[in-house]
Amino acid sequence: METNYRKLAVLALIALTSATTPLPLKAAELSDNDKQFLAQYEKVRGALAADDLEGAKKAAAALNEEGAPIASSEKIAAARTEFAKLSDHAIKLAAGQNGYYIVNCPMLKKDWVQTSTQISNPYAGKEMLTCGVIKK
């Protein structure tokens, strides 16, 4: 009789655990607009990593309103500050998507998205180009 109670208790525990354990969510498919945003974001990221303010401004201009603060930046530090805001949006889009890597620079405490596993830090540029760790 005691064995039956144990079996029931184990089964109840399994049922409770199964019911409360969240299933992994599949990332929603990116829209064409999201893909275009991420492609242009990658161009901005690459230019900032290369310390190329003019390239970053040109790439950001293609992002229209979202990229306007970078496109009008007069200093690379200002462009990098604005890039952090773009990165928030890019991280939300890229999370769970194949081909996109969310990277963190532990020294600057900044995150970004890139399409390569080779770290290329847009916040530090050539000064600390490889500072970063892939989070995904």
pTM, to two decimals: 0.79
d(CA 40, CA 38): 5
pLDDT in tens, 36-74: 999 999 999 999 999 999 999 999 999 999 999 999 999
What is the pLDDT, as a whole number, of residue 132? 97
The label of the residue with tokens 């989070």 reads 135
d(CA 136, CA 134): 6
Q: Which of 70, 57, 53, 62 is nearest to 125 (CA)?
A: 53
pLDDT in tens, 77-135: 999 999 999 999 999 999 999 999 999 999 999 999 999 999 999 999 999 999 999 99
Residue 110, strand partner residues: 105
The label of the residue with tokens 């299933």 reads 23
